[in-house]
Amino acid sequence: MEIHLAPLENVSCWAFRKLCKGASDSYTGMLSLTNLVKRNNAWEKVDTFPIEGQKQWIQIATSKETECFAFLKKLEEEIKKYPEKDNIYGIQLNVSCPSPYLIKIGQGAALLKRPTKVGNLVKELLKQEKYKVGVKLRLGLNETEVKQRIILNLFKELEKITKDNSNFTNVTIHLKHAKESSSTDYNYSILNELVSYNLPLIINGGIKTFEDIKRLIESIAPENRKNIKGVMLGRAAMKNPDCFSEINRNFEGTPFVHRNKEEIKKEFNELCKQHMPQEIFLKTIEEKTEI
Ligand SMILES: Cc1cc2nc3c(=O)[nH]c(=O)nc-3n(C[C@H](O)[C@H](O)[C@H](O)COP(=O)(O)O)c2cc1C
C-alpha cells in the first residue's frame, strides 16, 4: 500500500517532504504551466533534490496541450542545468483545484466535466518515457456535477489510457466536490463504484491513521480492493510529519523512531539549511502546520 504525502501549496517544499519519513510518494504544490513555460524564476519551486525512499512528483495545472509540450521541453533543459534536481518520478495533472481564478480559466476542477480534454492533456504528457504520469481529481465542480456522476465519464476515459500506456500509473481521487469546505464530511458513498474501474486509485480525504485506512479498505468489496494502490494524506502530515512512519509500523511492522515536536522542528531547520525554501513556504508552514 502506497502512502502519499499530498501536494500542499506553499507547504510541501523539499525540506517538508523529506521531513515526512515513510511517505512513499510526495508532490510539489501545484505549479502553473503558464508560469513554468514563460518565467524562469517559476522553476525555483521545482525543488526535487534527492529524498531516499520517496518518489517525487511535480504537480502541474494547465488546460492546454501546447503548454504540456513546451513544459516537457523546458523540464529537460532545467534538469540538464541542475542535475541535482534529476529525481523526478512523475508529473501529476491537477484536475481538482477549487480556486475560482483557476476555474475561470478552465483549469483545475473545471476540467472534471471534460473527459476528452483531460485525456488529451494526459496523452500529451505521456509523449516522453522518463516520467510517470498521474492525475488528481475531485468528485465534481459542485453538488450538481456529483449528482450527475460526471466523474464516471472521466474514469471511463482514463481507463482507456491505462490500457494503452503503463506510464500512466495512478489516479488520485479527493472525495469532495470543489465547493465543499475543508471541514465538511467526506463523501465515501461513490467509492465502491469508483474502485470497480480498472484504474490504480490513490484515495484522499480525511485520512489520518492506520485505523482510518483499515476502515476504508474494509468498506470496499473484496474483489475490487486490488484497484486501491494507496492513500494520500495532507492535513494529518501538517499536524504530524511522523504519521507516515506510524502507519507503516502498523502495516508492515517497520521500526519507528518517535520524534517529539522539538526534534521535528530541529530537523526541519537543518533541512532548510541544505535547501532553503522560499519565504512564502516558511511563513505558511509557521502559520498552518504544527511544526
Ligand atoms: C495548505 C494546503 C495546500 C494545498 N495545496 C494543494 C495543491 O497545491 N494541489 C492539490 O492538488 N491539492 C492541494 N491541497 C489539497 C490536498 O492535497 C488534499 O487533497 C486535501 O487536503 C485533502 O486531504 P486531507 O484530508 O488528507 O488533508 C492543499 C491542501 C491544503 C490544506
Cell 467509492, residue located: 191
User: For residues 125 and 87, is the Cβ–Cβ distance under 8 A?
Assistant: no
Give the pLDDT mean for 153-169.
97
| pLDDT tens per residue across span 77-110 | 999 999 999 999 999 999 999 999 999 999 999 9
Between the CA of 44 and the centroid of ligand 1 the distance, in Å, is 20
Q: Which domain holds residue 23?
A: 2-288
| Whole-number CA gyration radius for the chain | 18
Report CA torsion sign: 189, 63, 201, 156.
Answer: positive
Any ligand 1 atom below 6 A from CB of 45: no
The set of cell numbers assigned to 291 is 511544526
Atom of ligand 1 nearest to the CA of 174: 19
For a ligand 1 pocket test, name from 235, 238, 286, 287 the mutation site with the most ligand atoms within 8 angstroms of its C-beta.
Answer: 235
- Please state, in angstroms and rounded to a whole number, the distance separating the CA atoms of residues 229 and 248: 15
For ligand 1, atom 31, name the residue with the nearest CA.
Answer: 235
Atom of ligand 1 nearest to the CA of 208: 26
User: For residues 174 and 136, is the Cβ–Cβ distance under 8 A?
Assistant: yes
Helices 243-252 and 210-218 pack at an angle, to 10 degrees, of 60
Give the pLDDT mean for 23-28.
98
Strand duo 88-95 + 132-140: pairing: parallel
In the chain, which residue ranges form alpha helices assigned H by DSSP? Answer: 14-19, 33-38, 65-81, 100-104, 115-125, 143-147, 150-164, 191-194, 210-218, 235-239, 243-252, 261-274, 279-288
CATH code for the domain in which residue 40 is found: 3.20.20.70
Any ligand 1 atom below 6 A from CB of 288: yes
Between the CA of 204 and the centroid of ligand 1 the distance, in Å, is 9
Mean residue pLDDT of the chain comes to 96
User: For residues 239 and 209, is the Cβ–Cβ distance under 8 A?
Assistant: no
Between the CA of 7 and the centroid of ligand 1 the distance, in Å, is 6
Whether 187 has a pLDDT exceeding 80, the answer reads: no
Whether 10 has a pLDDT exceeding 90, the answer reads: yes
Q: Against a cut of 0.95, is the pTM above it?
A: yes
DSSP secondary structure letter of residue 275 = S
Between the CA of 291 and the centroid of ligand 1 the distance, in Å, is 17
For ligand 1, atom 10, name the residue with the nearest CA.
Answer: 7
Whether 252 has a pLDDT exceeding 90, the answer reads: no
The total number of structural domains that make up the chain = 1
Between the CA of 230 and the centroid of ligand 1 the distance, in Å, is 16
For ligand 1, atom 21, name the residue with the nearest CA.
Answer: 234
